[in-house]
Structure 1
C-alpha cells in the first residue's frame, strides 16, 4: 500500500517543529535558505497489517543522535523537521546534533531553537565514527537512535523499533527468572548481576531504508523483502530474501534477520552499546564501521533485525560531499582491514584476496579491540558464517590452478639446503613422470592471487623494481606476495 501523507506549516495550529523551523531559517543574517516547505513523502507500508499493529503506551524514550559535517542546511533541516513532525513527542528524550567541525559554526547552535535539539561541536574534524561515540556518551536516554543527517523519517517509524527493543529486554528478564523453586534464587541473582553489569544481550534494530532521489528529493519506497549482505571485499549490498526465507515469513510484518546493517540508521539499548565497546574509535571518518559493529553484535551474543513496519528515507549520494584527509579509498581500506584483522579470523585471507590493495596498508593498533573480543567471549567468524550468513560462499581449492613455472626447458623449483630453515629457489630441468610435475616444481596459483607451494609462497624481497624473489611463509596480509 502506498499512500500520500502531507503536513504543512499553516500558522498557530502547526506543530512546534514546523513553526520554529520556518522562523529560524528566515533569519537574513544567517545566510541560510528559507525552507518553509510543505513536507510530502510516500507513506510506504509493506502491508495494511502494519497500520493495524498496536504498540505499548510505555515505550522507552530515546536519544536521537545525528552527526554532520558541512551538510546542506536544507537537508539537515529536513531530517530534524521530519523527526519532530512524525514522532510522538514523549518518545523523543532529546535530539543530539554533533557538528563535526563544519565550516559554518552557527548552523548547529541555530538549530537548538527547535524543540528537544541539543548541539555538540567538535573542535577538530573527528569523522562520523568518533562523533557518534561523542553523541552516545552525552545521551541521557536508555535507548540510542542513530540517524544520518540526510534522511526523512516516515510516519510511525519509531514505535516499531522501540517496541522490539523493549521486547528484547523483557525476554531476558523472563529468562533470568526461569527455573524451578530450587534454582529460582540463583536465576534471580544471576539476572540481577547481569543487569547491573549491563550484559544482557539484545537486539539491534533498523528500519527499511527507502530512497530519496538526490536530484529531485522525491521519496521512493524500497522493497521490504531485502536484507543487508556483502562480498569478501567487504562491499555492502542489498540482497533479496531467498524463496525459502520468504516462505518462512508467514507474516509480512515479522522482523527480518540481517547479517549486516547499512550502518547509518539503527536503534540500540544504550547499556548494550556501551558493553559491546561502542564503535572502534581508531577508525577514521566514514566507511567499514557497519561491518565492524555488525560482526561484533552477532559474534558477541546479539542480533540484527530490519523491521518492515518502520521506514526511513535516505539520500544515497553518488559521491561524498566532503574530503577524506587520507583519501576515500585509503580510509575505507584502513577501516575494513581493522575489521578483518579483529573479527574475521583466518577467513580474513579471503578479504585480502578480494581486496589485494589492502595488503601492506597501515591499519593502526588493534590490540584494544582484540582484548575486547576476548573479554566479551565472542564467537568465531566460522560460527557467524555457519549460523548467520551461510549464503556467503567460501572459496575453495576449486578456485585454484596448479602447474609449473617454465622458462624453455627449465622450471622453477624449490630446494632444501642443509643448515637453512627456508628452501631456496632455483631453475632446474623440468622433471616429472607422464606429464605430472615433480613436487618441488609444482606451484599453485590461489584464489588469493598468491603463488604457493605447500605453506610457502613466492615473495618479493622489497617493493622496488628488480627485487629478488624469495620463498617465504605465506601471509595474505603481505603485499609483496601478490
Structure 2
C-alpha cells in the first residue's frame, strides 16, 4: 500500500504540467468543440480543487464498519479532456481512504492519443488498459471488470469529482447485502463554469415506455415514509454512469449485454436484470459524486446515436419486457422492424437465473409506470377548418367511406360518425375499423378497414398540424373530386408540405 511519503513521490514523478499541456485549448478556438463542455474553464481549475460538502448534515454523524471491502474503480473513456480525466482520478485518490481503493483501472476505448491513458499509469494505484479498436462503454466496462482484483466494482464516468466520504456508505450497503447495487446522489458540475452544484436528494430514477430515462421526485407518500434523510432510496432504475456492485454478483447476473453498442440504454438492461433476478437498486443520499452533464455527445456513434439507442433499448425490451414490449414499440415506432442482433444467450441467462416477470417488476418495483391502455387513447374530432372527418355507410361498399363534412357537435360532443379514437399504438379508429391505405404511393386513397394489431399501413403519427402516415412518411391530405358544383373531398396520402392547407388538421380530443 505504501506510506503517504511514497504517494507524494509518485505525484512528483508524474509531470502534471506536461501531461496537461498537450492539446490544450488555444485562444480563438471554440472551447466546446471537442468535448461539448467548456474546455477552457476545465483547464483553468486546479486538478485537486476543493468541492463543497453537499451532504445532509446528519450524514457526518454516521459511523461505518471497520471491515469494509476494498474496491476496484473502473473508469472508461474515449477522447476525454485530459484536465477532466485527471481531476476525476485525483478526486478519487484525495477523498477515499487509501486502503479502500485497491486500484483504479482506466479503460481507454481507442482514444486518438494513447498517451491520454498511458501517462496516467505513473500515478498511485492507476492501471491503464487500451482497446485495440472502438468497443463502446459496455464492452469496455466488462473488460475492466474482468481484470479487476478487488471483490467490489465501482464504475465511474471520466468527468466526475467524488465528494467527501463518498465511498464508505456505498460499501457499507454492499457489505450488509451483496445483492444490492448502489449509486451515489449525482451532483451537477456545470458544463459552462464547472461550478459544483448540489442536486436534490429527493429524486430517484424513472422512465417512460419509450425507455427514456428521467429523474423523478419522490411522491408525497414516499417522502412521508422517509423519516431519516440519510436513508437509502429504492430506485426502479439507475442513471447508469456511477454505481457500485459486488464483483461475484455482477458476474453471476451476467455482467452486461456485450452485444450492445457504444452507449445508451444499457442502464435499463442492467436495472431490469438486477431487480427481476433477485437484487435491488438504491440511491445513497450520504454519497455524493459530481458529474458534468452535457447536452450532446462529443463523440461519434459509428451507427448514429439514435440507431444505437434503438438497438440497445430494443434488445432490452425483447429480453426483459415480456408482453409489455408492445408499449415500448407503440411509444417508439421507429424501433419496429429494426435489427437488434441475436438475443438467445440473454434469454437463456434469464431462464437460468429464474428471474421474475416484467409484470412482477411493474407491480412491485415501479407501479407508478401506468399501462398506456387507460392513459393513451384520446377520443374526439379530426377537423380541417370548419369541416370534420366523417364516415358514411354506403350501399356499394363493404365498409363505410370517408369524407369531409361540416362539423356537427352538440354540447361539445362529436356526432358518432365524426368521433375518432387515437390509440397508444398509433391507430385512428372508429369501433373496430381503422384509417388505412392499400398502397404506399402518393395519392393513395385512405379507407376504413378492420383494425389489425401491428399493421403498419394503419399507423399514424401526429406531427405538428400534420397527421403523418408512419409507414410511407406521407401526410393525410384531401383532394377535390368531381366538378365544382358537386365536389366532394376524398382523403389521400401525399408527400408532406408544410404550407399545404389541405394537410392541416386539428385533433380536437375531449
Question: For 2:443 and 2:434, how far apart are their aligned partners in 1?
Answer: 18
Structure 2 equivalent of residue 73 of structure 1: 82
SS in 2 for 1:280: coil
Q: Mind listing any 5+ residue stretches in structure 1 that lack a counterpart?
A: 1-11, 170-201, 416-424, 430-434
Structure 1 equivalent of residue 181 of structure 2: 204
Q: Per-residue deviation at 1:338?
A: 1.4
Q: For residues 444 and 28 of structure 1, do their structure 2 counterparts lie closer, same or farther at Cα, with a shift above 3 Å needed?
A: closer
Question: CA offsets per residue over residues 213-256 of structure 1, 9 Å max, x none?
Answer: 11111111111111111112211111111111111111111110
Question: For 2:395 and 2:365, how far apart are their aligned partners in 1?
Answer: 43
Question: For 2:374 and 2:360, how far apart are their aligned partners in 1?
Answer: 21
Structure 1 equivalent of residue 289 of structure 2: 312
Question: CA offsets per residue over residues 36-81 of structure 1, 9 Å max, x none?
Answer: 55511111112x2211111111111111100000000000001001
Q: Mind listing any 5+ residue stretches in structure 2 that lack a counterpart?
A: 25-42, 383-388, 404-414, 461-510
Match of 2:167 among 158, 168, 173: 158
Q: For residues 389 and 479 of structure 1, do their structure 2 counterparts lie closer, same or farther at Cα, with a shift above 3 Å needed?
A: farther
1:399 paired to 2:390: no
Match of 1:139 among 143, 148, 171: 148
Structure 1 equivalent of residue 314 of structure 2: 337
Structure 2 equivalent of residue 228 of structure 1: 205
Q: For residues 459 and 365 of structure 1, do their structure 2 counterparts lie closer, same or farther at Cα, with a shift above 3 Å needed?
A: farther
Question: For 2:311 and 2:282, how far apart are their aligned partners in 1?
Answer: 27
Structure 2 equivalent of residue 374 of structure 1: 351
Match runs of 1:247-262 below 5 Å: 247-262=224-239
Does structure 2 retain, via aligned residues, the 8 Å contact 1:456–1:471? yes
CA RMSD of aligned residues (A): 3.3
Does structure 2 retain, via aligned residues, the 8 Å contact 1:402–1:444? yes
Structure 2 equivalent of residue 41 of structure 1: 51
Structure 1 equivalent of residue 15 of structure 2: 24
Does structure 2 retain, via aligned residues, the 8 Å contact 1:62–1:91? yes
1:475 paired to 2:440: no
1:447 paired to 2:424: yes
Question: CA offsets per residue over residues 313-336 of structure 1, 9 Å max, x none?
Answer: 000011111111111111111111
Q: Per-residue deviation at 1:442?
A: 10
Q: For residues 223 and 458 of structure 1, do their structure 2 counterparts lie closer, same or farther at Cα, with a shift above 3 Å needed?
A: same
Match runs of 1:46-57 below 5 Å: 46=56, 48-57=57-66
Q: For residues 277 and 349 of structure 1, do their structure 2 counterparts lie closer, same or farther at Cα, with a shift above 3 Å needed?
A: same
Q: For residues 92 and 28 of structure 1, do their structure 2 counterparts lie closer, same or farther at Cα, with a shift above 3 Å needed?
A: closer
Match runs of 1:259-408 below 5 Å: 259-397=236-374, 399-401=376-378
Q: Per-residue deviation at 1:383?
A: 1.1
